[in-house]
Amino acid sequence: MGEKRFETEVIHSGYKSDEFRGSLAPPLFQTSTFTFDSAEQGERRFAGEEEGFIYSRLGNPTVAMLEERMATIEKGEKALAFASGMAAVSAILVALTRTGDHILCSQGVYGCTFGLLQLMKEKYEINHDFSMMSTREEVLAAITPETRVIYIETPINPTMRLVDLEMVADVAREKGIPVVVDNTFSSPYLQNPLELGCDFVIHSATKYICGHGDVIAGLAVGPKEIMSKIAMTTQKDIGGVISPFDAWLLLRGLKTLPVRMDRHCDNAEKLAEYLSGHPAVEEVIFPGDPKHPDYAIAKKQMRKPGGLISFKIKGGQKEAQAFINKLKLIKIAVSLGDAETLIQHPATMTHAVVPKEAREKMGIKDNMLRLSVGLEAWQDIRDDLEAAFEAVRKESTMESGSI
Ligand SMILES: *Cc1c(COP(=O)(O)O)cnc(C)c1O
């Protein structure tokens, strides 16, 4: 099969039904190990002289199908699947660095990635810095002679600021530094960093790729040679591999990714507009808003502005918490990209591990909320938000004694 369009590849790539007795759905190889015909065959497999499976930590057919499909849709050479997004992040960062090296990060990263960077610094003296990366000059100024990795999230969780991937990749190429992009917020449907010149892409597949809130998993895509080495070292020996069943669920989830993303994005656009006009809202941060500081970058590198909205409520932590407590349809939960609309309070949840000072520097204020827009009818999501705003307003007017 030659190159097909994205919507076709998510359904067909990586799987040939005629190789599996015509089974339309990819089979689930729920097995820990694989038997050899003979001692000599075992010897050849271990020596790498014969293709074939050995043990599911080293490779599994269902997992291999997922990896092939993922490499195709992220337009990379080779993908590896992991037990979690963090297993993917840590495998790539550990593989690309050694003691004394420096990692340059976007101004804001996932809370546990922040924790991992801290751990690498304390235990292995691998340092890091954060940069807005708004201009070439800013990126160049932040690179040190020890910089071995540029690590970017865009859109950044949860501040929704963007980084111009083509520009950073261009600077990094001149310096010979690989660029790693956590593409979780966009999914491969909205943004393909490898096509923009970056070197590695990471996903928390837990989010949009799964899409149904029932799997924890990670994926990484990159150059064949390095990824094969990672498979046989960091992944095999540290061992954060995906289970075959979770890989099977991801193969299933991927089939509907474009359809789901279109709805997530359409709903988000309508809800961002609703929130922008609300008197109880101080600020809405959505890359599809022409007033967003990085709107031009969103237009340039994303197919659509995504399904996540951050917004600041008038007041502080107390007001933010009171508001989400009044929601009924929208669930209070971390994670994102599910069919259900989810809301969370980054300062006390996903980014509670980041010290307040660093948090504020990243732009995460106590009155900020992050909404992962689901697949429900957008009017029902809006009505739930409106009812919660109204309930909070009523309570506060009662408290102030004006009724
Ligand atoms: C959730 C998330 C991760 C971590 O993924 P897990 O699957 O929870 O380990 C990393 N990066 C981003 C942007 C995320 O949203």
Contact criterion met (CB below 8 Å) for 200 and 222: yes
- pLDDT, residue 399, reads 79
Calpha distance 350→106 (Å, rounded): 17
36/166 same-domain check: yes
Please tell me the predicted confidence (pLDDT) of residue 300.
Answer: 97
Q: How much is the pLDDT for 396?
A: 86
Catalytic, 110? Answer: yes
Number of domains making up the chain? 2
- Token couple for 386: 């409106």
- Rounded to the nearest angstrom, the distance between the alpha carbon of 83 and the centre of ligand 1 is 11
pLDDT of residue 403: 53
pTM over 0.85: yes
Q: Residue 392: its pLDDT value, please? A: 96
Predicted pLDDT at 2 = 57
* Domain coverage including residue 24: 6-254
Catalytic residue (choose from 44, 57, 303, 382): 57
In this structure, is residue 1 part of a structural domain? no
Residues 332 and 352 in one domain: yes
The CA dihedral of 73, 75, 76, 78, to the nearest 10 degrees, is: 30
Q: Phi/psi of residue 186, each to 5°? A: -95, -30
CATH, residue 26: 3.40.640.10
Pocket (CB within 6 angstroms of ligand 1): 84-86, 110, 112-113, 153, 157, 182, 184-185, 204, 206-207, 216, 218
Nearest ligand 1 atom to the CA of 335 is 1
* Among candidate residues 254, 287, 309, the one where a domain is terminated: 254
Question: Count H helices, E strands: the chain?
Answer: 15, 12
Catalytic residue chosen out of the listed positions 110, 151, 208, 274: 110
Q: Is residue 92 located within the same domain as residue 169?
A: yes
Query: Which residues in the chain land under pLDDT 70?
Result: 1-2, 402-403
CATH value at residue 356: 3.90.1150.10
Q: How far apart are CA 186 and CA 182, in angstroms?
A: 9
Residue minimizing CA distance to atom 6 of ligand 1: 85
- Among 223, 254, 285, give the residue marking a domain's end: 254
Residue 152: which residues within 8 A CB-CB, separation 6 or more? 105, 106, 133, 163, 165, 168, 179, 180, 181, 182, 198
Tokens of 89: 């992040």
Q: What's the pLDDT at 1?
A: 47
Residues 298 and 156 placed together within one structural domain of the fold? no
291 is a catalytic site residue: no
Q: Are residues 353 and 273 in the same domain?
A: yes
Pocket-testing residue among 86, 160, 203, ligand 1, by greatest number of atoms within 8 A of Cβ: 86
- Phi and psi dihedrals of 84, rounded to 5? -160, 165
**Ligand 1 atom nearest 217 alpha carbon:** 7
